[in-house]
A and B are shown apart, each in its own frame.
Chain A
Amino acid sequence: QKEVEQNSGPLSVPEGAIASLNCTYSDRGSQSFFWYRQYSGKSPELIMFIYSNGDKEDGRFTAQLNKASQYVSLLIRDSQPSDSATYLCATENQGGKLIFGQGTELSVKP
């Protein structure tokens, strides 16, 4: 089992809809969780990080963390074509290293 699992997609949503991206992790000791966005041919850039159970909102983005179930999700409201990218989930293990999932490709159709 991979330490961080994501559905590779592609996930296709219409413009204006809510995109839901999910990630599960295996290390119960993980403390910090990150969502990165990566456009084709570019480097990853941080969208959100979350440390505590519950929801964290930033503009159109909401990260949700459930440590008991070992999953973290990212919701994108009012999806725009410019949101089309690969979204990488990462957890920080107790050694301080970030472990990345394989990424979910999101396509927002006009």
Chain B
Amino acid sequence: NAGVTQTPKFQVLKTGQSMTLQCAQDMNHNSMYWYRQDPGMGLRLIYYSASEGTTDKGEVPNGYNVSRLNKREFSLRLESAAPSQTSVYFCASRKASGQETQYFGPGTRLLVL
């Protein structure tokens, strides 16, 4: 099992460009999450999907959109990138709320110039 995979590993964007971060899990988990991590800020939840077909906002959703394409895949889209979105993005999955823990992908480092 690959667990949680993310692509790309690293990306440089110019202000105003758009991009989609991809995430996939092969653990048959129901819930999937997108976080960003900035120095001194810990992990902040952007969006999550409790189950296939549902998505909901987290703590810092502005400037982002998500798509739960199927049970395996959960993508994060930046429509018009801003320097404030420079961060490390982690995708995570979990069997279900209240069950066990989240498993994290390796992360995507995004630099917006």
- Interface size of A by CB at 8 A reads 24
Contact A102 B104 (CB under 8 A): no
How extensive is the interface on chain B, given as a class? 20 to 34
CB of B104 within 8 A of CB of A43, answer: yes
- Which DSSP category, helix, strand, loop or mixed, fits chain A's interface? strand
A8, B40: Cβ atoms closer than 8 Å: yes
Which B positions have Cβ atoms within 8 angstroms of A?
31, 33, 35, 40-45, 48, 50, 58, 90, 97-98, 100-107
The answer to whether A97 and B58 touch across the interface, beta carbons within 8 angstroms, is yes
Which residues of the other chain, A, contact B44 by a CB distance below 8 angstroms?
100
Q: Residue A88 contacts which of B42, B58, B103 (CB distance < 8 angstroms)?
A: B42
Assess whether A92 is interfacial by the CB under 8 Å rule: yes
25 CB < 8 A contacts A-B: A4-B42, A42-B106, A42-B107, A43-B104, A43-B106, A44-B43, A45-B104, A46-B101, A46-B102, A88-B42, A88-B43, A90-B43, A92-B97, A96-B31, A96-B97, A96-B98, A97-B48, A97-B58, A98-B45, A98-B102, A99-B45, A100-B35, A100-B42, A102-B41, A102-B42
A62 at the interface (CB under 8 A from B): no
A contact residues around B33 at 8 Å (CB)? 98
A22 contacts partner chain B, Cβ-Cβ < 8 Å: no
**Chain B contacts for A44, CB-based, 8 A:** 43, 90, 104
| Contact call B104/A97, Cβ cutoff below 8 A | no
* Contact in complex: B101, A34 (CB < 8 Å): yes
CB-defined contacts of B45 to chain A, threshold 8 Å: 97-99
Cβ contacts under 8 Å, B42 to chain A:
4, 6, 88, 100-103
